[in-house]
Structures are given as structure tokens and as C-alpha cells.
Chain A
Amino acid sequence: MLYREAGDFNTSYPQDSQTFPIRFDRYRYYVVLAFAFLVVPFLINDYWANAILLPFLIYAIAAIGLNILTGYCGQVSLGTGGFMAVGAYACYKLMTAMPEVSMFVHVILAGGITALVGVLFGLPSLRIKGFYLAVATLAAQFFLVWLFNRVPWFYNYSASGQINAPERDTFGILITGPNAPAWATYLFCLIFLAASALIARNLTRGTMGRSWMAIRDMDIAAEIIGVNPLRAKLSAFAVSSFFVGISGALFFSVYLGAVEVGEAFGINKSFLVLFMVIIGGLGSIFGSFAGAAFLVLLPVALKVVGVDMMGWPTDIVAHFQLVIVGALIVLFLIVEPHGLAQLWRLAKEKLRLWPFPH
């Protein structure tokens, strides 16, 4: 009854091409947005922010970024951790060099710097394809982490080799540092996530997104029908790295506060984000959200069930987590290679026909 296009008449072209063409979907979207922006900030406390909400928001941005590159443009990247590190260190250098500027500017600039680095490491994709490219992006991962570890300029010659986020505010509200209120950090990340999702959604259904998908589906054929592979691939790398850089900057400055590059942005981070994209669904913005939520909640849920309810030692639960994540990924690929997003799509199709399926 609810989920129908019947009776929903479009009278102008903008209406015809809106993101959520079905009225119910549109209202649901507004309700979710309103809830996230207006209700959650009043309910939030430190535990919820740090254990669940902040990681979810930040990983969702990273997953959107990687999904653009891997899901939409078909270029598998294992360098996400390295690009997140670029965002984090760019943000750190900007924060310490220009303390009076708003955090918004810093984070966006950090994203821009990461986009440049992404384009640089994306250049080989013009010649290298498939698995060779996946391995080549590992070069970015290892080289960047090594660079931030070994060149003291990046961590301002601090003795520990770590970077620590100093206290910075935006519009007079503290965003980073240990004294920042949970609702402020939450809203800060949420604004970035909402903007990223909006931009990504509209990019992927426009000219640029279509050229990415053409390259993904068959690059030679795309080239023959007039898609410029240089522009398509490099723009995918740039946009993807921009989002990944923003998530890296937020991850360091808002969420962790102090970062040791090998720990926080190692190869495991690359895989984690890749898993989010796979489990959520390649080539779907909603999938990025679903995947991030799933992989952020899974360890928390396992810990609650294993340690708090069953009383098992934490290391056993940690090992089980590896086994379960691994098994789930394999299971997902077997049962639904298109991820959670595909389940969502199927559910919507069913709902449209309900209660009279053919």
C-alpha cells in the first residue's frame, strides 16, 4: 500500500529525475535525516559516540569513497589505509600550521590533498589492470605508511613519532581533543557523511558516473564508444581519494585523537573498508552505509555476547571474530555476491508488488 509510484505524478523535469522517485521512499529519507540531525544529538553519550556512531559515520565515508573506485569504476584498490593516512597527516599539518582556521576547512583541504595523491597513484591504472592493479595499489599503502613513519616533518618532529590532535573548534564549538562534547563530534562527522553521500549519489548517476560504469563493465568497449579512459579513471581515483582522505582526517582528528600510522592505517584498514564495500554491495551508495554499519556493529555485538554474556576470555572472542568475519564474507559472496544492497533492492521490489504478487 505504502510503497507505490501510483498516484505520484511528476509535473516537471527536476521532479522526474529526483533521487528518490517514490513518495514513500522520499519521506522515509527525510525522516531518517531529521532523526539523525535533530534527535540523535540529544540522546547521544560518550559510549555510543565512540563505540558505534563515530566509527560508523567515518567508515561509511571511506566506504563511499572506495565504492566509487571499486564498485563504480571497477578498479580494485588495496591502498585505502594509505590514503586515509594521507588525509590524517594532511589534516594534522594544517591544524598545527593554521590553528585559527575552522576545522571544516582543514578537513576539506585534507581531502583535496589526498585527491592529488590519489591521482598520482592512480596513474599506473591506465596501463595496469585487474589483479596487477590491485597489487600495485599495495605499493601506495606500504610506501605512504613508511613515508609518514620515517620523515619527521610529517609528525612535526615529535619524540614519539605519533601525531596528536590539538584542540580545535568550528564556530566556537570544540570539535577535536579530549574535551570535545559527543554531540558536536557526532554532528561534525554526520554533516560530512550526508554531504559525501549526496555528492557521491549525484556524481554516480550523472555523466561522470556513467563513464565510470562504462569503464568498469568493459574498458575497451567504453573507449571505442568515446569514453576517455584517462579522464574517467583519474577522476574516479580523485573523487574516491577525496572521500577517503576526509574519512582519514576525521578518523584521526575527531575519533582517535592520537595516531601511530602503522597501527591505525595499516593494511588491515584497507581490507576492512574493502570488506565493507563487498558486504554492503559493490556499486551502491546505500551498500556503503550498510556494510559500514555491519562491520562496525559486528565486533561490538560479538564482544557483548561473548565476553559480557558468556564470560569467555577476550582473546578467544577476538579469534572468533576473525573466523566469523571470514566465514561471513565467503557466505555473502556465495549467497549474494551483490551484498546487502541487493537484499534491500529485492525487498523493495517485493514491497511494490505486495500484497498482489502477479
Chain B
Amino acid sequence: MPEQLLFAMEVTLNGLMAGVLYALVALGFVLIYKASGIFNFAQGVMALFAAMTLVGIMEGQVPFSHLINGVLGTDVHHFGWHVPGALAILLTVGVMVILAWAVQRFVFRHLVNQEPIILFMATIGLAYFLEGLSDLMWGSEIRTLNVGLPQGINETIDRVTYDLFGYGFFIDNLDIVASVIAALLVAALVAFSQYTKQGRAMRAVADDHQAALSVGISLNYIWVLVWSLAGFVALVAGIMWGTKSGVQFSLSLIALKALPVLMLGGFTSIPGAIVGGLIIGVGEKLFEFLLGSALGGATENWFAYVLALLFLLFRPQGLFGEKIIERV
């Protein structure tokens, strides 16, 4: 087989893996949008906040230590203990649930019945708030996150492909694990929303707030539940991306990567988020590989958006989005 084709295959595989990670972030958006009609721009910052909290808890860091030292002149930084990964993840989930409750109680409960665009702007405000809060709580330097996920080149794939084509593919173990976890997460979420009482209530709320309220579903409870779920998805995404490239501010920018995925897949569709993520992941990697050097490189910054834009011109509701019916 010609070498170029082999490279292209490797790039495609890596693109698929990256796409899974995009889809993971997009999933959090879809969950909240479906259940409450809120387009949650803060999803990326939630991933950053979750990952920062996880690292902070694992290292036994004192929250707000920099602030306390700066204001009071003390010198506290660590409790001096290390929390094992699994326990730290559990604690972080707890923090995300508290966050979900606070967001619901203090922000969106007061914004019921506002226009979607107002809600969207509120989430941008929330994103700023969370970003500042995570900096204040845990500091703003780059952290390494290691919860015991395997990393590095996958030897088996390297050897098998070498035997087959005479060229070993470079696939990161972490990407494989991430794909498996993402697949499991999606399966679990679908099962949750289809087969449990809470899931059914969630779908009812998504369908019609008032009707759901009138059959006795607590909107507050469902919204806290949805935000907690989104927080959990954000945590998973934060762990994956954080392990891959360190926990730092740029983590929150993956939200911007997830937006074209949403446009492509449709805001209301979980399968759409997955397929959209894969298309974007493969598309941008292949585009960079084929034309990137001719155009000056770093085309990944905009390719996803332009692709989604062109796509929307032909299908304004995305691949799997509900058909938009407009009436006066």
C-alpha cells in the first residue's frame, strides 16, 4: 500500500479518537439543552472546574490557599495528605452535584420563562464566574492529572499494523480508553433516560414543562439532576483531556470545539453529538493532513466551524435535530 494512504488511515483513526472526546463534551450540552432548553456555554469551564477540583482534592491542596495567603499573610498550601484517585473522583462528583444545585437555586430558578437568548447569556456569565472561581480555589498554574489511566503508544496495534502493512500505526492508549469510556457513558445515559423513573421524568420535562409539572414532576429536582449529570459528563471529559494535555485554562476551550459538533449533530440529539463529533474529528485531522501545510497550518482552529456552517446551509437543524417548524 502506498505510504500516503497509510498515513491518511492513521490520521483518520486518530481523528476518530479525538472526535469521541469532542462528542463527550457535546453530550453535556445536549443533556442540558434537551431537559431545560438552556444552551449551556459553561460546559467547557465546568470540565475545567471538575478537573481542577479533582487534582486539588487528590493532592490535598487547601482551597483558596492563594487568596488566604494573599489577604491574611499566612502560608497555608497543602493539608499534607494524598487522596486515592477513586475516592477523589467520588468527592468531585459530590462537588459537581453541589454546584448543580447552586446553579439551579441561585441562577436559573430566577430565570424561568425568560427567552432562550437571555438564558444563554446567563451561562456565559456563569462560565466567567466558574473560571474565576476555579482560579481562586486552586490556582491557575498547569497541573498534571494522573488517575491511573494508561498512556503512551499502544504496542499491540503498532505490531499488528506493522506486520500487515509494514508500517506501525501510532495510537495512544489513552485515546482507546477514552473511546471505550465514552461509549459506555453514552450507553449508560441512554439506558438511564429510557428505563428509569427519573429518566422518564427527564424526558417528560424536555417535552413540555407545564405538562410535566401538572402530572407531579418536580421541575427543580429534574433540573438539579440534569445539571448534575452534565457536571458528571464534564468531569469525565475533564479527566480525559486533563490526562492528555494537563489541567489548565485551555481545557475550557474544548467547549468551543464542541459547538460545531452540536451544530452538525443537532442540539437535541444524543446520537447526533456522537456522529457529529466523529465527523468533525476525522474531518479536521484529514483536512490538516491534506491541505494544512499548503494553507499555512493550524487549520484546526476554524475548519470545524466552517464545515458546520456550510453543512447548516443545507440542513438548518443539523443532522439529527428535530425539524424546525415555524408558525406565526
Contacts and interface: CB of A to CB of B under 8 A. Distances in A.
Interface of A: 76, 124, 127-132, 134-136, 138-139, 142-143, 145-146, 149-151, 218, 220-221, 224, 267, 271, 274-275, 278, 310, 312-313, 315-316, 319-330, 333-334, 337
B125 interface: yes
Contacts of B177: none
Contacts of A324: 132
A320 B136 contact: yes
Given A132-B312, A322-B132, A330 B298 contact: no
Contacts of B124: 271, 274-275, 329
Contact of A319 (B140, B299, B302): B140
B118 A316 contact: no
Interface of B: 39, 66-67, 70-71, 107, 110-111, 114, 116-118, 120-122, 124-133, 135-136, 140, 256, 259-260, 262-263, 267, 295-299, 301-302, 305-306, 308-309, 312-313, 316-318, 324, 326-328
A61 B263 CA distance: 31
Main secondary structure of the interface of B (DSSP, over half): helix
Kindly name the residue among B110, B259, B324 whose own CB sees the greatest number of chain A CB atoms within 10 A.
B259
Contacts of A316: 66-67, 70-71, 136
Nearest to A221: B328
Given A131-B116, A316-B67, 19 more contacts: A76-B117, A128-B316, A135-B260, A135-B262, A136-B305, A142-B302, A150-B295, A220-B327, A278-B121, A313-B70, A321-B132, A322-B135, A323-B133, A323-B136, A324-B132, A326-B125, A329-B124, A329-B125, A333-B118
B114 A337 contact: yes
B202 to A, nearest CB: 21
A81 B317 CA distance: 26
A312 B71 contact: yes
Contacts of A145: 301
B262 A326 contact: no
The secondary structure that dominates the A interface is helix
A349 to B, nearest CB: 23
A251 to B, nearest CB: 22
A308 to B, nearest CB: 15
Please list the 8 inter-chain residue pairs (A to B) with the smallest Cβ-Cβ separation, ordered nearest first: A326-B129, A322-B132, A329-B125, A326-B128, A139-B305, A323-B132, A150-B296, A142-B302
Contacts of A224: 328
Contacts of A323: 128-129, 132-133, 136
Contacts of B256: 138, 267
Nearest to A142: B302
28 contacts: A76-B117, A128-B309, A128-B313, A128-B316, A134-B120, A136-B308, A138-B305, A139-B305, A142-B301, A149-B298, A150-B295, A220-B326, A220-B328, A274-B121, A312-B70, A316-B66, A316-B67, A319-B140, A326-B125, A326-B127, A326-B128, A326-B130, A326-B131, A329-B124, A330-B122, A333-B111, A333-B118, A334-B122
Nearest to B66: A316
The CB with the most chain A CB atoms within 10 A, among B118, B121, B259, is that of B121
Contacts of B131: 322, 326
A275 B111 CA distance: 18
B309 A124 contact: yes
B120 A131 contact: yes
B309 A136 contact: yes
Contacts of B324: 129
A313 B225 CA distance: 38
A335 to B, nearest CB: 9
B54 to A, nearest CB: 20
A52 B220 CA distance: 44
B252 to A, nearest CB: 11
B132 A334 contact: no
Contact of A131 (B71, B110, B267): B267
A310 B71 CA distance: 8
B326 A319 contact: no
A321 B328 CA distance: 43
Given A131-B39, A319-B135, A334-B107, A150 B298 contact: yes
Contacts of A330: 107, 122, 125-126, 129
B262 A127 contact: no
Contacts of A310: 71
Nearest to A144: B302
Contacts of A124: 309, 312-313
